[in-house]
Structure 1
């Protein structure tokens, strides 16, 4: 495999003033159908600019430095727009949160036709037996679908090797971020290979949460990478990371509304190659969305199109005054970091 190039600096982003951001800011609070990574209500700050809409929704626990990449991505979408597309239909996977096995059918029913499924595993407080039962329920419901599991770094190395040896029996496409560290990923990958366990390793947090998102490729710690627009600072920056990493890429979301999903679709639509179904079908996990034409899958794919929030939905799901103040204060702090 060719050695990945050192990261290049992305093109300078023209950052609008805080008042320009504020003029088009809407804070929403959307209920989830099922708990997803501990989230039952997803808050987001939407920004309207001259090129369209952007979404700023870093999780509350993220610090301002990390959140600044999410704001850069939102500004790119709303003030700059997206690169040219090479495809207009994006294949997507269904996503099954860490629900009991008897709820798997209920979750899958919201996605329509399904060719690939991502199943959450290693949830805190749950057992490997529960993970196995959930994955087996997916396989029983969809005998021919590609199944990938996502541990969000929830296992240690021995636990990951043990779990993936068991889960491999259902036929896994890959395992996403089984352990937290890059060194751990490399060790899990090597142990699985030595044991003859046919499971590829995908890196997610080890790409999007690292100051150097290419380190995972240089370490030989993954077979493919998962890329998300907001944590990487925008579509153009994500395209650079994929090109320089030299690994197959899966485009995924960060539990966005359709506005954020639109940016993920822009990335998937502009990649030269798209070998895997994308994790961009998560709007189906919300009770409602901010647009009357949600970016959800139809026959296993999402058609590339814009996401324009509806004024009535923005009003209906407007966050409380104190939460709006919290998000606007965060926006001011993070904006100040971008303009230093």
Structure 2
């Protein structure tokens, strides 16, 4: 554990930026994040705007660990990374993939509100056509019920799925889908881990074959490592649409895991039209090397959020700091 730094110490180096997206992702076309610099380096606090203070405080704990304690020792110096395809139309797939370098693994968003299974099939088919040898995984963000999930995963399995991430919302539903599919598609748990009051419940219930872990929502790299160790399941490290500063924390987590059998979802800076680091932390030849990221003063100024949004984030920081 570490002592929570005083609020004024965090505030002294805090910047709020609004980073434009090349394509809408999770309904976001402009990603707001806060960054600040502690004794151990730059850190990012960027819970999505709809998250409440209790959930957001875990993101702050992660940022303070990164900035005031630093990252644990790495066991690898290279992390394989997947490309990410948002819930775009099939004809947009080539341009989205074109933003990534040497793609060996792709995560595709499915089950988007207002879209059909036919659109999901077309999107996944377009990726498979463009990358016949790549590993493909899908992410439904809990968008299906059990019946829909089983139907969809049976239809999509013809494209050779590495796994399906969070096909349904609850742990009980996850277990039901996994049982119905009987191993034909592996099931990965994301929201059932990072949004749960008990992140180990999914493992105890036998509801998933692997875990998707994110440092910020779990309260930091060290707590995420403990959860993976206790769960006894393979893990994929993912990001939450972070700037390069936030991605560096995800990379530190991936680099510290004793085993890393899957490519990680840390390539989302490639979906952005702006960043705060030079060079940006993006995949080269399908992977990344963990490194310290320093925010660039010119980019912090260029992408600075409007005054009213900065005030909103500073007040949020104050409330979440009080909860720690």
Q: Indicate the SS of the match to 1:190.
A: helix
Q: CA-to-partner distance for each residue in 1:282-334, whole Å, 9 max, x for gaps? A: 00000011001111000000111111110000000000000000000000000
Which secondary structure state, in structure 2, belongs to the residue aligned with residue 241 of structure 1?
helix
> Given the alignment of the two structures, is residue 150 of structure 1 paired with residue 139 of structure 2, yes or no?
yes
Q: Output the CA distance in 2 between the equivalents of 1:173 and 1:324.
A: 41
Task: Identify the match of residue 289 of structure 2 among 303, 308, 312.
Answer: 303
Equivalents in 2 of 1:157, 1:23: separation in Å? 49
Q: Any idea what the Cα deviations from partners look like across 1:244-272, whole Å, max 9, x if unmatched?
A: 00000000000000000000000000001
Report the Cα offset of residue 13 of structure 1. 3.1
Residue 40 (structure 1) aligns with: 29
Rounded to whole Å, the distance in 2 between the matches of 1:119 and 1:241 is 26
Cα distance, 1:173 vs. partner?
0.2
- Name stretches of at least 5 consecutive residues in structure 1 with no aligned partner: 1-11
Match of 2:207 among 221, 236, 242: 221
Structure 2 equivalent of residue 232 of structure 1:
218
The list of structure 1 runs, each at least 4 consecutive aligned residues, that deviate by more than 3 angstroms after superposition, is none
Matched ranges for 1:75-86 at <5 A:
75-86=64-75
List aligned pairs for 1:297-336, cutoff 5 A: 297-336=283-322
Q: Within 1, Cα distance between the matches of 2:229 and 2:318?
A: 33
1:61 lines up with 2:50 in the alignment: yes
> In structure 1, what is the equivalent of residue 274 of structure 2?
288
Q: Contact conserved, 1:177 with 1:202, CA < 8 A, in 2?
A: yes
Which residue of structure 1 lines up, in the alignment, with residue 236 of structure 2?
A: 250
- Structure 2 residues without counterparts, runs of 5 or longer: none
Aligned to 2:127: 138
- Specify the SS of the correspondent of 1:278: coil
Matches within 5 A, 1:147-296: 147-193=136-182, 198-296=184-282
Is the Cα–Cα contact under 8 Å of residues 13 and 72 in structure 1 kept in the other structure?
no
1:30 Cα offset (Å): 0.3
**Mapped partners of 2:57, 2:101: distance in 1:** 35
1:91 paired residue number? 80
Counterparts of 1:112 and 1:17 in 2: how far apart (Å)?
41
Between the aligned partners of 1:314 and 1:112, the Cα distance in structure 2 is 26
Query: How far did 1:47 drift?
Result: 1.2
User: Shift of the alpha carbon at 1:143?
Assistant: 0.5
TM-align CA RMSD: 0.6
Quick check: 1:225–1:247 contact (8 Å CA) kept in 2? yes
Is the CA contact 1:291–1:309 (under 8 Å) kept in the aligned structure 2?
A: yes
Count of residue pairs the alignment pairs up: 324
1:198 is displaced (CA, Å) by 1.5
- SS where residue 111 of structure 1 aligns? coil
Could you give the per-residue CA deviations for residues 38-93 of structure 1, whole angstroms, max 9, x where no partner exists?
00000001011110011100011111000010000000111000000011111000
Provide TM-score, normalisation by structure 1: 0.95
Distance in structure 1 (CA, Å) of the matches to 2:80 and 2:184: 24
Secondary structure of the 2:274 match is coil
